[in-house]
Amino acid sequence: MSFAVIMKRELYGYFATPIAYVFIAIFLVLSGVFTFYLGNFYERQQADLIPFFNFHPWLYLFLIPAISMRLWSEERKSGTLELLMTLPLSRSAIVLGKFLAAWVFAGIALALTFPIWMTVNYLGDPDNGVIVASYLGSWMMAGGFLAIGSCMSALTKSQVIAFVLCSFVSLLFVMAGFPLVLDLVRGWLPLALIDMVASLSFLTHFTAVSRGVFSLQDFLYFISVIVVWLAATSIVLDMKKGA
């Protein structure tokens, strides 16, 4: 269980620095602002959390890279990567441990939005099953963003570059089902591949989720995004060793 060793240290790292507290505070404030002001939570007069969850892809788009940018860049810059990679721990254990710690951390931030769930229960009579499914879906999506960010962070020792790259690649994934991305590929890719690109959209999968329809398909989609990007992280780290 060597990944647990890494995970423990990483989680310790989040809470030993202001990162955790700043991140959680900003996340909570922004998710509140988005829900109540942009999402018209009250005006809709409906007892559900759709306006809350609808904004999560956009919130994650710039908040998740803030967590993931340091995953490898910081260690490469400070030299601790050399220490870490020469410990008798497998690469996959290190990659997985770091990712899981970041994912658990994102989960903690997400869980701390519970007052909004209490609010909606106080105000009305929502379908709590839907809300639980949406929370789960949102967390899965955060995992997808984090896995992308992990790979981007492995590419560079600059956290700023890691942040920008992660936001950009994440944006492509979020928007994959929309003209913004599809127009780029429509001219030259066969239709089957265009459909495939469209099906990679975080938004398409998450829209269903935020309405409480969390199918196995969406679940598997996010899991595969995570697995693929973590594998890519491992490959990038390996390439950097030879550089």
Partner 1 sequence: MVYHGPAKLVVETDIGTGIREVDGFMIEVSHLTKYYGDFAAVKNLTFKLVPGEILGFLGPNGAGKSTTMKMVTGFLRPSSGEVRIWGSDVWQDGLTAQRHIGYLPEGAPAYEEMTPLGFLEFIADARGLTGVERANRMEETIDVMSLQDVLGQRIETLSKGFKRRVGLAQAILHDPDVLILDEPTDGLDPNQKHQVREMIKGLSRDKIVIVSTHILEEVTAVCNRAMVLAKGQIVSDGTPRSLMEMSPYHGAVTLKSSSASLTEIAEAAGSIMGVEETVITEGGVTIVPGEFDTTLFTKVLDLARSKGWTVDSLYVESGRLDDVFRSLTEGELQGEVQGEVQGEVR
| Residue ranges that bind partner 1, judged by CB under 8 A | 2, 5-6, 8-9, 12-13, 16-17, 78-80, 82-83, 85-90, 241-243
Nearer to partner 1 by C-beta: 5 or 189? 5
Nearer to partner 1 by C-beta: 88 or 187? 88
Decide: 202 and 141 in contact? Cβ < 8 Å. Answer: yes
* Closest distance of CB 243 from partner 1, Å: 8
Q: How far apart are CA 155 and CA 149, in angstroms?
A: 10
Nearer to partner 1 by C-beta: 90 or 215? 90
Decide: 54 and 87 in contact? Cβ < 8 Å. Answer: no
In the structure encoding, which two tokens stand for residue 222, read together? 């996010």
* Closest distance of CB 20 from partner 1, Å: 11
* Closest distance of CB 17 from partner 1, Å: 5
Of 15, 139, 145, 154, nearest to 95 by C-alpha is 154
Nearer to partner 1 by C-beta: 21 or 178? 21
Nearer to partner 1 by C-beta: 38 or 239? 239
DSSP class of 38:
I
* Closest distance of CB 111 from partner 1, Å: 24
Give residue for tokens 């491992």.
Answer: 234
Helices 128-155 and 216-242 sit at what angle, rounded to 10 degrees? 10
* Closest distance of CB 82 from partner 1, Å: 4
Query: What are the CA-CA distances from residue 10 to residues 116, 154, 222, 228, 243 (Å)?
Result: 29, 16, 23, 22, 26
